[in-house]
């Protein structure tokens, strides 16, 4: 079955440092979504990427979708304590009207 892996599993940064999480799928995706889950909370949608090579920005967050539509990344510039949480990618398999497969998540800890 489809597998979506994320690295790293955990990252601890000082406030102001940059952070990147990578997402890799075993199959080609029709689109990829990113979610953030604060500690004790529920996943909240951040963004969706559909096109090969697509890059989208949301303030300090930059999202990329790979040319082969099998990988993606989320980069946060100058992290803040409000960025703490777990970031999940979730992909829909290409060619089917299928459900999302979530990645294993990257937990980000930010300290002053």
Partner 1 sequence: NAGVTQTPKFRVLKTGQSMTLLCAQDMNHEYMYWYRQDPGMGLRLIHYSVGEGTTAKGEVPDGYNVSRLKKQNFLLGLESAAPSQTSVYFCASSYSWLAGQGEQYFGPGTRLTVT
**Site for partner 1, rule CB under 8 A:** 1, 6, 9, 30-31, 33, 35, 41-45, 48, 88, 90-93, 97-105
Would you say 97 or 112 has its CB closer to partner 1?
Answer: 97
Bridge partners of residue 48, in order along the sequence: 33
List CB contacts of 91: < 8 A, sequence separation 6 or more: 2, 4, 23, 25, 29, 31, 32, 33, 72, 100, 101, 103
Pairing outcome for strands 19-25 and 71-76? antiparallel
Please report how close the Cβ of residue 54 comes to partner 1 at its closest, in angstroms. Answer: 14
User: Which H/E stretch holds residue 90?
Assistant: strand 85-93
Would you say 14 or 40 has its CB closer to partner 1?
Answer: 40
Would you say 50 or 77 has its CB closer to partner 1?
Answer: 50
Please report how close the Cβ of residue 15 comes to partner 1 at its closest, in angstroms. Answer: 26
Please report how close the Cβ of residue 22 comes to partner 1 at its closest, in angstroms. Answer: 15
Tokens 């940064």 sit at which residue? 13
Pairing outcome for strands 106-111 and 10-14? parallel
Would you say 16 or 41 has its CB closer to partner 1?
Answer: 41
Please report how close the Cβ of residue 100 comes to partner 1 at its closest, in angstroms. Answer: 5
């Amino acid at each position: 079955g489809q597998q979506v892996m994320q690295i790293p599993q955990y990252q601890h940064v000082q406030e102001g440092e940059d952070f990147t999480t990578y997402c890799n799928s075993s199959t080609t995706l029709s689109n990829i979504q990113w979610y953030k889950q604060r500690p004790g909370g529920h996943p909240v949608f951040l963004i969706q990427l559909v096109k090969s090579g697509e890059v989208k920005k949301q303030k300090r967050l930059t999202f990329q979708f790979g040319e082969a539509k099998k990988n993606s990344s989320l980069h946060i510039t100058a992290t803040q304590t409000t960025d703490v949480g777990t970031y999940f990618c979730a992909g829909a398999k290409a060619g089917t009207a299928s459900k999302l497969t979530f990645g294993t998540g990257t937990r980000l800890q930010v300290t002053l």
